[in-house]
Each structure stands twice: as C-alpha cells, then as structure tokens.
Structure 1
Amino acid sequence: MAGPTTAERGERQKLKSGPPRPPRPVRLRRLRVLIVLLVTAVAAGAGVVWLLYGSHWLRVERLSVSGTGVLTVRQVREAARVPDGTPLISVDTDVVEARLLRKLPRIDSVVVVRSWPHGIGLKVTERTPVLVVKQPGKGGGYVEVDAKGVRFATVSRAPKNVPLLELTPSRSAVLRRFPVDRLVREAVRVAGDVPAPVAGDTRTVKVRSYDSISLQLADGRDVEWGSGEKGRAKARTLTALMKAAPKARHFDVSVPTAPSSAGS
C-alpha cells in the first residue's frame, strides 16, 4: 500500500498545529484597541464618581416639604438635618426618614426622595387625632391620640370636634387584665365605628372597662356601646334605634341584637 502523499502530509500537519495565527501587526492592533477600551472605561468610571461626589453640579441646594398641616415647613427641615452642599448621592434617605419619625412624633409616615440634580423632597403624612386625653392638673393641656391608639402630641387646647377620652376603670383588676394602652385602643376602635352623624355629635368617650364604653353626645344624650366588638352591627343598630325613638335620651346597643332606648 502506498504511503500518504506530500499534500496529505501537509494537511495533517496543519490540523495538528491549529488554525493559522494572524500576522503580528494584526495582534498588536487588537491589543491596542483593548487597552484603549480599558482606559476609556476606567476614565469614564472615574468621571462618574467625580461627578456624583466631587463636583458642585449634583449637590443639595433645596429641601422641599409637602403634606404638612400642623407642623411647619421649617420644623420639618430642621428635623431632617440635610445640610446644603451635601452630594445628593450620599444622602441616606432611610436615615433621614428615621430621624424625622423620631424627632417629630406627629409624623405618621414620610417619603424621602432625591430630586435630581439639586433637591431632596420630603412628603409628610401627619397623624390625625381621633380622641384627646386631658392632662392632670390645671392647664395641663390635652394629649392627642390617633387612629392607631398612638398618643403623639400635647396641645394647649383640644382640637375642634375631637371627642374627649375619659378613662375611669373601676377596679385595679381591670387594669391588670387590660392595661391603659389596651383600653385606649378599644376607645379608638369604638370612635372609628360610630356612625358619622353620631360621631359628629360625640363630645366624650367614657371607658370604665374593656366591655363598658359609652358616648356622651353634645345635646346631653348618651349611648351605651359596650365593648369594641361587633362595631359595625352596633353602628347599624344605633342608626335604626335613633330613627325609631328620636326623642329618647339614652340608647343601649351593647348587645346589638337586643337594643333599648329610654327617656324622652
């Protein structure tokens, strides 16, 4: 049998040695391109870092506040403590939010946003009082209580149309089982379930125990509500009862399936 020809031996040699390597000038051009791209990327990254942290173009120049009612814009700005000239990227929005909630208990929530290129925006939601508690002593003021049962601020005068909360637990055993904070939350729960027309006339919410909560209305009428449970059913029953007995002075919906009214 004849051996491989010269051409065949050449082909085998090419397969063993791999594909042909490009000429040296081509390899050098590729290397130069890679180096240029790498240098460009590093320079661009350094430029971005300088722009964000070192330049004067992206720094805090204004602090806008929205959503305030009782609080002033100045109070919120001072509590936020975001100095002018701070690089915008370095402002920790979570830290600013936590600081505002800690320093201003009247704030229920706040959203801190960057407003490029020069601003920080503070979107504030204030707590709304649903009840007030009279402070002991002459001129003690009133503590505002929100819909979550949080006592968040003391004011010299009670807000208009916000009922007074009277806590008069009859026995120490009641307080051991239901602490004051729990009784306050139950009072808030009741205040939130009272029908709107009645809520507008409510002047005092009296809490004697967990299951003995009553309402004193502006015209002297009163409502025995009981506990904070079954609030919607009690609200419907009270509305119907007041329509059926418009001249009654006392209403009892503590058991909504067996309500009663009395007086005229």
Structure 2
Amino acid sequence: MIRWPTRRRSRLILGTLMVVAAGVGLVLIAYLTPLMAVRGTDIRDNGSIPADEILRVAAVPQGTPLLQVDTRAVAQRVAGIPSVESARVQRSYPSTLTITVVERVPVVIVTSGDEVHVLDRSGVSFLHYVRAQGVPPEVLKLPVLETPNPGPADPTTREAITAVAGLPESLARQVKRVSASSPVDIEFILTENRRVIWGDSDRGAEKARTLTYLLGRDAKMYNVSSPEFPAYK
C-alpha cells in the first residue's frame, strides 16, 4: 500500500524530466541547427525604399537560425535608413524574418541657398538635394517652411508642420509657403499670393473648414486664428 504512491511519484518525476529534456532539445535544435533558419525575408510597407536596400542594411545572412537573430538590433539598423521613421522585426516560423517599416512622409521643405532639405512630420530632415544637381518636381511642390531655427527640437517648427500636415488635400495643395516666428504665429501663403493668418496648430479642422468657406470671397488676406470670429480683406 505504501509502494504504489511512491512509484507513481517516481513515474511523474520521470515523465516531467523527459518533457523538460524534450523541450530543451527542441530549443537547442532551433537555436543551433538550420532546421528553423532564415530562408527568406518579408519586407512590408516599403513604398519608396527599395527592398534590396532594407535587406542590405538589415544584414541577416541566409541560414542564420531564427532564434539567433537579434530582432532589436536589426530593427535599429533598418531605422537608421534616412527615409525610415521606425522599423519592426519579427520571427515568422519556421524560416522567415518579417521586417515592417514606417516610412517618413515629406511635409515641407527648407531651402538654404542652393540646397533643399525635406522635413517629415516630426521636423526631421531626411532628404537633401542640391538644385544644380536637380530636385524632383514632387519635392518642389511641397510648401517652403520659413522659420528661424528649423529642426525637430524647435517648437515653432513642430507647430508649423503640425498645422500643414493637418490640412485637407484641397487646401494643402494651395499652400506655397509656411512662415512662423513662434508656435502661435503661423501663416500660410497660398496660390495667387493669398495670405492666411493661422495662429497656432490647435483647432486645425475648424480653421480649415472656416478657411474653405472664406476662400470663396475675393480677398488677399484671411484670418482664421479664431475660427469662430474669422476675418478677411
């Protein structure tokens, strides 16, 4: 009567050890052998960035066991591509590495002499052109940002870009220049040299609706800094 429970415990312990050993064996197989190795890389959400460039920067050799791939390090390398805002790397078993990128979206340009810098929604300059070498037409269609200290750390830059990025397409394509001397003093210059006093970047949707209505009036200046009390002349 005493031996049966002891035998059952022994069998339970033995069974547990066998399960653990099998689990460890599977991990070692996956980590050390090519059975679950990288045989393909799936690049997702890249539009303007060639997949070959992402693969080159990712630098993960074919045949590397998936468990040996440092996904964080790979993501950091891919995020170092100027046109990439962020990157995520995932293991897709049994043999695929998936790299998903978020590309930077051009919002405005900043000119300095013969140079043209393209800024994204965070104010990061991620593309650079020299006029003498040619600037793509789609870049030249972006609004020109005029502010004392353009850059991602500058509050005025961030507010001005937020204001532009929030415009509906019907208004955005009319904006030629954005000038801002402070975060609350944003102005747009539209086609036909029409001036828009925008103020800060708050209540952008209301301001856009008001401006859309006012543009039906023949004027050269529109003030929507307080959308409930607009003005034009």
Alignment TM-score > 0.5, same fold:
yes
CA-to-partner distance for each residue in 1:138-179, whole Å, 9 max, x for gaps?
Answer: 2x2x2222223333332452625421111258xxxxx9xxx9
- 1:202–1:34 Cα change, 3 Å: closer
1:137 matched to which residue of 2? 113
SS of residue in 2 equivalent to 1:57? helix
Alpha-carbon distance in 2 for matches of 1:203, 1:76? 33
| Mapped pair 1:167 → 2:141 | no
Q: Does the C-alpha gap of structure 1 residues 30 and 251 become closer, same or farther in structure 2, counting only changes over 3 Å?
A: closer
Q: In 1, Cα distance between the equivalents of 2:194 and 2:175? A: 9
Q: Is the 8 A contact 2:104 2:120 kept in 1?
A: yes
Which TM-score applies when normalising by structure 2?
A: 0.81
Q: Which amino acid aligns with 1:96?
A: V
Q: Which runs of 5+ in 1 are unaligned?
A: 1-19, 170-174
Q: 1:56 aligns with which of 13, 21, 34?
A: 34
- What percentage of aligned pairs have identical amino acids? 32
For residues 53-110 of structure 1, what are the alpha-carbon distances to aligned partners after superposition, in whole Å with 9 as ceiling and x for unaligned?
2222111122221211221112111221212221111212222222322x21422222
Instruction: Report the count of equivalent residues.
Output: 226
Hey, what's the Cα distance between the residues in 1 that align with 2:2 and 2:202?
86
* 1:1-264 correspondence runs (5 A): 20-22=1-3, 33=11, 37=15, 40-41=18-19, 43-101=21-79, 103-134=80-111, 136-138=112-114, 140=115, 142-156=116-130, 157=135, 159=139, 161-168=141-148, 181-243=154-216, 245=217, 247-262=218-233
1:125, 1:31 → 2: CA distance?
A: 55
Task: Give the equivalent residue in structure 2 for 1:9.
Answer: none
Within 2, Cα distance between the matches of 1:185 and 1:255? 20
For residues 22-57 of structure 1, the C-alpha deviation after alignment (integer angstroms, 9 at most, x for no partner) is 4xxx79976985686466446524531332122221
Distance 1:28 1:188, change over 3 A: closer
Any gaps of 5 or more consecutive residues in structure 2?
A: none
Give the SS at the match of 1:129. Answer: coil
Q: Helix, strand or coil for the counterpart of 1:49?
A: helix
Counterparts of 1:30 and 1:53, CA distance in 2:
34
CA distance in 2 between counterparts of 1:73 and 1:256 reads: 45
Secondary structure, aligned partner of 1:185: helix
- In the alignment, is the contact (CA less than 8 A) between 1:168 and 1:206 conserved in 2? no
Distance 1:250 1:117, change over 3 A: same
Structure number with greater Rg is: 1
Instruction: Give runs of ≥4 in structure 1 deviating > 6 Å.
Output: 26-32
How far residue 129 of structure 1 moved from its aligned partner, in angstroms, is: 1.1
What is the CA–CA distance in structure 1 between the aligned matches of 2:6 and 2:208, rounded to whole Å? 86
Q: Which residue identity lines up with residue 92 of structure 2 in the other structure?
A: S
Deviates more, 1:217-226 or 1:125-134: 217-226
The 1-side partners of 2:172 and 2:12 are apart by: 75
Measure how far apart 1:125 and its partner are. Answer: 1.4
